[in-house]
Amino acid sequence: MKRRDFVKTGAAAGLGAGLTYLNFPVFGKDAPSNKIVVGVMGVNSRGNWLAQLAAKQPNAAVAYICDVEDGAVAKGLKALSGAQSKTPTVEKDIRKLLQRKDFDALMVATPDHWHAPAGIMAAAAGKHVYVEKPCAHNPREGELLVAAGAKYGRHIQMGNQRRSWPNMQQAAAEIKAGAIGEVYYGRAWYVNNRKPIGVGKKVPVPATLNWDLWQGPAPRRDFQDNIVHYDWHWRWHWGTSETCNNATHELDCLRWMMNLGLPTKVTAAGGRYAYPPDDWETPDTQTVNFEFEGGKSVTWEGRSCHPFTLEGSGRGFAVFGSKGALYCNGSDAYKIMDNDNKLIKEVKQQDPPTRNVTNTVSPAGEYLDGLHIRNFFDTIRGDARLNAEISEGYRSTLLCLLANISQRTGRVLHTDPANGHILADDAAMKLWSRDYEKGWAPKV
């Protein structure tokens, strides 16, 4: 289906009488009618990188950047000055930005507590959504985000980029074709050398930061000097632990390649072990085991504060089957071994050949990250299908969120494989959602 046809059918199918899919460019009447015009929310770090990649895609432009901190805005404008000829408009309040009708999609790279609420608001405003992992701060938000895409007829893609990498697609096809026999176990890992974050001091909010908008949907907290820009990751109030920060990628690959749905049992163990007590609340050392129907299981190991690699890499995954195993070192490369540990096949990453797989901005590089964005844009045009619908992104995120719930409650979770809901444990199900600041609760 071409984009002009999608415009006609999409509005009728999903937007309802009150919304119309508008596609006129913001950079002049002579711009091509199928140009993808986007806004980017959150441009300090990963979002800065995504904005540049979006601007470099064929027939695409970044018309707006949305950030609540002046330094991040300046970084975003500087980065885009080298990626496109037109300077984007700055809008700090996402609610005001989404009132504009002259852009097609919102890319969300904010702190985690904003991901799903922003995506839901954008879909309701008629925008397609590219949201960084994790797609939700809690399971209920993920359910609502999936529902929003369906209700409003919008494409929503999570930043699980490996679904668009050519060699990972080939690896998935080989496993499904029986290259390693019947698969039954997957193992994934991530390690880093993060430093302590200390005990934050309550200080006046910097004049460069809109702290109220930064908090957005989250109930209000006092500002401290060790939250913005990065160390919110390790606070349950805003962040989602190293599981959602990084395990999402490898667990998504294992779900994909092992043809897994949702688990029947989740067991997490670990804690904040590496440094003396500080404001870091989530585990820095953790193992999680997921059991699935059909006699399959997956294990993830995370060490945020100890860089000793596993299998020679700081991140990666392995799939084990009745006839052998497939190993990936975190890049777009893999090896297949037989049951005697003999190398049967090796596929190397072509472009670029080497990357720092634990780089916090882009472990993949421009080419591979760009493939996922291009797939999103081509799908909006009607020339492709998403390599990973948001329903798939949510399922992989849900594994990580269930790991967090198991960790926080100290309980083994028994779950319904149809929807991931926790069975016979009201205390654990209380963490299925969260409290919101008055007036900010996401709705579909």
The rounded distance, in Å, linking the Cα atoms of 423 and 439 is: 31
CATH 3.30.360.10 in the chain: give the residue spans: 165-201+207-355+390-432
Q: What is the pLDDT of residue 366?
A: 87
Kindly tell me the burial class for residue 14, based on how many C-beta atoms sit within 10 Å of its own C-beta (0-12, 13-18, 19 or more): middle
CB atoms within 10 A of CB 307: 12
Fold for 3-162, please state it. Answer: Rossmann fold (3.40.50)
DSSP string, 339-357: TT--EEEEE---SSS---T
Look up residue 83 and give its two tokens. Answer: 């990626």
Spatial CB neighbours of 76, under 8 Å, sequence gap ≥ 6: 40, 43, 44, 47, 48, 51, 65, 67, 88
pLDDT of residue 12: 34
Cα gap 37→13, rounded to integer Å: 22
For CATH 3.40.50.720, list the domain ranges present in the chain.
Answer: 3-162
* Alpha-carbon span 182 to 180, nearest angstrom: 7
106 Cα distance to chain centroid: 14
Residue pair 72/44 in contact by the 8 Å Cβ criterion: yes
Tens digit of pLDDT per residue, the chain (444 long)? 444 444 433 433 333 322 233 343 444 333 456 899 999 999 998 899 999 999 999 999 999 999 999 999 999 999 999 899 999 999 999 999 999 999 999 999 999 999 999 999 999 999 999 999 999 999 999 999 999 999 999 999 999 999 999 999 999 999 999 999 999 999 999 999 999 999 999 999 999 999 999 999 999 999 999 999 999 999 999 999 999 999 999 999 999 999 999 999 999 999 999 999 999 999 999 999 999 999 999 999 999 999 999 999 999 999 999 999 999 999 999 999 999 999 999 999 987 655 665 555 666 678 999 999 999 999 999 999 999 899 999 999 999 999 999 999 999 999 999 999 999 999 999 999 999 999 999 999
Which letter does DSSP use for residue 44 in this model?
Answer: S
CA distance 79 to 8: 35
Identify the CATH homologous superfamily for domain 165-201+207-355+390-432: Dihydrodipicolinate Reductase; domain 2 (3.30.360.10)
pLDDT score for 28: 38
Q: Tell me what pLDDT residue 359 has.
A: 58
| Residue 267 CA: distances (Å) to CA of 285, 288, 399 | 14, 6, 11
Q: Hey, how many other C-beta atoms are within 10 angstroms of the C-beta on 33?
A: 11
Q: What are 345's two structure tokens?
A: 């096949």
